Structure 1
Amino acid sequence: MQHIYLDHNASTPIDPAVAAAMIPFLADGFGNPSSGHWAAAPAKAALEKTRGQIAALLGCAMDEVVFTSGGSEANNLALKGVYFARRDVGDHIITTRVEHPAITAPCQFLERLGARITYLPVDGFGRIDPDDLIQAITPRTVLVSIMHANNEVGTIQPIEEWARIAREHGILFHSNAAQSVGKIARDVNGLGVDLLSIAGHKLYAPKGVGVLFVRRGVRLEPLLHGAGHESGRRAGTESALLAAGLGKACELAHDLSSMDRVRALRDYLWHELQERFGNRIALNGHPGHRLPNTLNVSFIGRVGAEILERLDGVAASTGSACHSGRVELSLVLEAMGVAPEVGMGAIRFSLGRGTTREEIASVGERLSAIL
């Protein structure tokens, strides 16, 4: 049975060029980059090279790049870092009901410490209403955090508009861009964000490394306190090995031409499913404003998890979970108002650079065989 990987929104394989960039640091460059001797020089040079590669991708300055252990830490640093640094200004954070748990869980933690969190509703496509954002702002609001693109349905938020609203009210704006970097344009100045999170393993880099863009002048209380690495914003000795991989991945991400091919394959898959199943399937998410690699569809009246169990050799994700014979919708689909009989059949197919037309055709045939 041929294995077909269509779960790139969960994690991507390490690109061969990324692996090649990391190999030298398995045997050398082991010194602590903060030390001042010869053994530290290669590691420090690798970190600064990577900082430059990331800054070039995001359109920011090198000193605005903060290394983290991944997207989750970057999100936690943004939310908690702003909250604790601006307690004298306010205690209110605005986010949405369709955020990744790496946003909602820190927000729930901060609520236990006295923070007030507003979770904005979304429409049937997964987008917020600008009026809801404006009405939610109070004199105590210190941060707005809205994801750039949704990990489940792929819907892209018009971050530029939401960031502009926050800026007009003197409020910092953060965006979780783990899913969008490497797939769509991501210039931080064009987006107007003050903070932006990246996860290496969503970008054909290794797991265990990420970045938080922090605009100059933005104060953060560190999550990790120690020897004052990353200009005092994140303690912990940086890994030249992981940084070298992330830097190469960011260099490769400049070229978005591969996404045109991926988008064509995604649309081919959607066409195949429509041809085979007609009105027995439904599209989840925005039909136009969504990631070029993401197709979230519901097989109406079916259970997505059960379909995936029978879809031998195909790696994908479902938007529903089975617990003791009961099917629960994901919080994203629930927030979008997707009906239970539709949402319980949701499956997310997320394509990647290596996906082929033959693989897409095979998935269509396998689905027809089991349904």
Structure 2
Amino acid sequence: MSTPTRAAVVESSGAPFTLADVELDEPGSGEVLVRMVATGLCHTDLGVAGGGLPFPLPGVLGHEGAGVVEAVGPDVGGVAPGDHVVLSFTSCGGCRNCRDGHPAYCATWLPLNLIGGRRADGTSTISRAGAPLGGHFFGQSSFAERALVDARSLVKVDPDVPLESVAPLGCGVQTGVGAVWNVLKPRLGDTLVVLGAGAVGLSAVMAAALTPATRIIVVDRVAERLTLAEELGATHTIDAGEADLGEAVALLTDGHGADGVVETTGSVAVLRQGADALAARGTLVVVGAPPFGTEVALDVNGLIPGKRIVGLTLGDGETQTFIPGLVQLVKEGRLPLHRLISHYPFADIEQAVRDMKAGKTIKPVLTF
């Protein structure tokens, strides 16, 4: 039996999100039917809807879901109807990186999450009037009142924490937090620079504030976001429209440079500036994703003093342990995620998109 539901469908590249009646396949092996309570809107959703990635359209996107389990398919353990869950990316569970605790680097990550639009066996999870739609986005396609979700995308969470307050943990927040905690791992006395004060960058700031890092420097062009960064833990801010990044970092660090840099903007010019601002043995974490095929020029001799440039997917977190820990920090007020979130009714998804593009909101969360 299929499940009828209402979803936000993108008909073609560049088209708006429009609400439509669709049908979900019945939960198969390793799948769970989830009633959505909230879902975050991420730049990745906008990039795919705009045609920046080869995802099959018409289709249903959404990959920062949170909801309540309604039904489970065969071979699903650990969750039952009524459980509260946060949805994240999916993975195969059997490749070398999955077995090693790094599912974000699953051998089949791209087709399973970002560009396939189908289950691993090629079948569709969503249809409309009998015609299959692109779905299975990050194993969830959560821009819908109900979602058919890969069990490996599910993380059971504390039911006392409102799901509207933790939906973004599945992608943007764990990406920023993981850049700091899982890659940079700041030591006492370190200087961290966060390039871009959007949802990912400000998540990195909140994470850095919970480490022994001595300086946390945030770079952006929007004064209001720099002020918010200071309220969330930044010790210094740089207005990129008024100051040279390298000179400003050198001045703030007595010429030492940055021990860690988190690049969230997706701009190759900013990435290059971040690499040049590194201290000897410093590390630049590349989080922001420009269009496929984008290249950046680097000063090779400038890298030889032990500098590292590391790419990062979804914070390199093992979601079953990482996300519940983040939920606990939100519950205790130590990760003030609410400062980033603006709530919108699901029907107002296009308004949320406009506000996000205009910079009026940092992290839109759609509520059902």
Instruction: Name the TM-score, length of structure 2 as normaliser.
Output: 0.35
Higher helix share: 1
Of the two structures, which has the highest relative contact order with CA contacts closer than 8 Å and spacing of 6 or more? Answer: 1
Higher strand share: 2
